[in-house]
Chains A and B, each alone.
Chain A
Amino acid sequence: MSLKDKLVSSYLAFEDYIDADSHIHEIRNKAIKTFENSGFPTKKEEAWKYTSLNSIIKEDYCIFPKKENTVEFKEVKKYFLHEIDTYKIVFIDGVYNSFLSETTHDKVDVCLMSSALSKPKYKAVVENYFNKIAKDDSLTSLNTAFAKEGAYIFIPKHREVEKPIEIINFATGNEAALLLQPRNLIVVEENAHVQIIERHQSLTGNAVFTNSVTEIFAEKNSSVDFYKVQNDNNGASLIDNTFISQKDGSNVSVHTFSFGGKLIRNNLNFYQKGEHVNSTLKGITIIEDKQHVDHNTLVNHIEPNCESHQDYKGIFAGNSTGVFNGRIIVEKEAQKTDAFQQNNNILIDDKATINSKPQLEIFADDVKCSHGCTIGQLDEEAMFYLQTRGIRKKEAQALLMYAFASNVLESVKIPELKARITKLIAKKIGVNLGFNL
């Protein structure tokens, strides 16, 4: 049985015991039909031209793990930002783990999607926001149909969450192949502020396929800083579907650090639904072997006087492949838009490839739009300069790669995270950068 057929038939059993009679149930039914009609995307679709899911969907995934799995904190401590105090929402094989988590209901809600979907006190918020910005493409629909668990974060007006929130999805590898579909809903009300770090981490080399959907609603003058750390094992693949709605004067930044995994596809969608909105999309990709990372961004400028900044850096070694597809739509009403997009890439080995494609669709006449894309090697003169100072070739390469990627790190607002990412980069490049940050 194909994965698609398996999912469609599993849905019949799944829907029997989940939220019958609620409006969500109707959303699910509609979503599974959409998925059933379109199936998994193929390379025939323009948006999936360079990314094939064939090798991933051929596995026989477990869709509902039977037993609850646990892990020891000391085994997974390194995946937490343990140097500082954080809220934590932790899932193990898709199931909430209270032992590793630290949630709260004190003035803000940092808790579970399963509660939000089932408890009356969250009903109004869920009705207002759930699935309101997510698209109805096949993978998002697949997630919507099975949406059951994930992070639910609600920050009421004028609240600033005093510490970052970590959302971590562990996969134990107890199943030979596991499909995970986390569903996150994040609502940040007027003038509120939150910082979130999200991570998917499999603990073995077994196959894990994560199809995650995150909806973020940034209301008036709110600010959201979202950091995605993608440094998974080579058996793990991730399709991250993130949808962000921004109202007047809001600031949202998403940093995506893609250092590992078999295949990663980031569908990052910003919808600017107010004036004076600022959207920041940044990414560093450093991959090797046969790894594949595809950034598919959309910034939809709907209202006037808004800005967007995209800056993605990629370093590709071995046989790795990268894709950057950055779409900017400036609608007719969106005058005085300032949209910036930059994608710079370095190919370390002859066999590494990158396909970079900006897509600008501009319907307003008074806008500032700039984009640029470069694909190159490390600068030879700079290499020589470093080597004449006694720095070995490999270390010099690392230093230049670090230099190349570093301006993306400047906007990371959590120093401990910044230090952590820097270390990950150093490790990824396989050298000791020789300095403390």
Chain B
Amino acid sequence: MQWKLSEEQEAYQKTFRGWLADVAPSDRVRRWLDAGDASAFESRFIADGWAGVGLTEKLGGQGGGLVELALTAEELARAAAPSASWLATVLAVTALAGHPKLVEAALAGETVSLLVPAEAVPDRAPSLSVDAEGMVTGTAARVLAGDIATRFVVPVGAGGVRELRLVEAAAPGVSRTARRLLDRSRSVADVTLHQVPSVRLDVDAVDVLWQASAMAAVLVAADSLGATERVLDLAVEYSKQRHQFGFPIGSFQAVKHAAAAILVSVEAARSVVYFAAASVDGGAPQALLHAAAVKAQVTADGVRGADSALTIHGAIGYTWEHDLHLFFKRAKLDERLFGAPVVWNERIAEGLALI
């Protein structure tokens, strides 16, 4: 066993980071966030060919797997770049296997999203109901990218008879209300379906939802890692510039220790996020537990790191003008997105057969 990114993966990370620095510097990101419209970024992201990275060629992607997706998530977070559309699509798109046109459309910007509440672990989220004519009815609150999705993959039924159905967001009977998140780089909407026509997707629903859950855990943890890297960079950089009592604040032991503790979290996260990504991709027996541990540990550390970086900044970090809050809010949302640490820890406890 070897813990190391491949040369291609390292090259990808570097290129994508460079691209983000170029296309999404923080002043531009702020403009998109202020306008509440990420489409300029999203279309550029697609036009420059990033949307298919990490999705198999069989599915219609460019190859690679969850490690590449994790790298993407991490870098997007480091830039506080809008990512609801991307994340929703990579989690839902495997349900479209067998519909190459729809996959192609999804990767070309027609966002597809699982119709589950963004705080839920997808495979434990409540289902909607479907009648004999395939009309779907029900509500899912706070659906990731629910405001911008073109299509929804809707879990219906229960237990062994669960299935996934595809719904057009523009169909009659679909109503959605966008919610306003503190972290404006992601979006959710409350979505209600009333007698909406749907098509059955010919995939194993249980398997797709399991996969989406494991991927969500890893990718949100990778996002939290990216956000934590940035709060640490900002804090360290600031601690060298800012002087009090005649010294850079970074020379005070309390400040150093706080920064060092964040670095421990960052490196811990980096170690385990890619590991879990490879574990899920490789179908390791404990893959879901690995994903669960990553989600619980990394996102919890992420909020602690963000708080600590705020402490290091003092009042300047508490302002809207400073960029810190972009990453602070990102880390806060990551902790809760697709299952809070307590939920994922419970999942681990289940898997460990304690009773």
Task: Answer yes or no: do A and B interact.
Answer: no
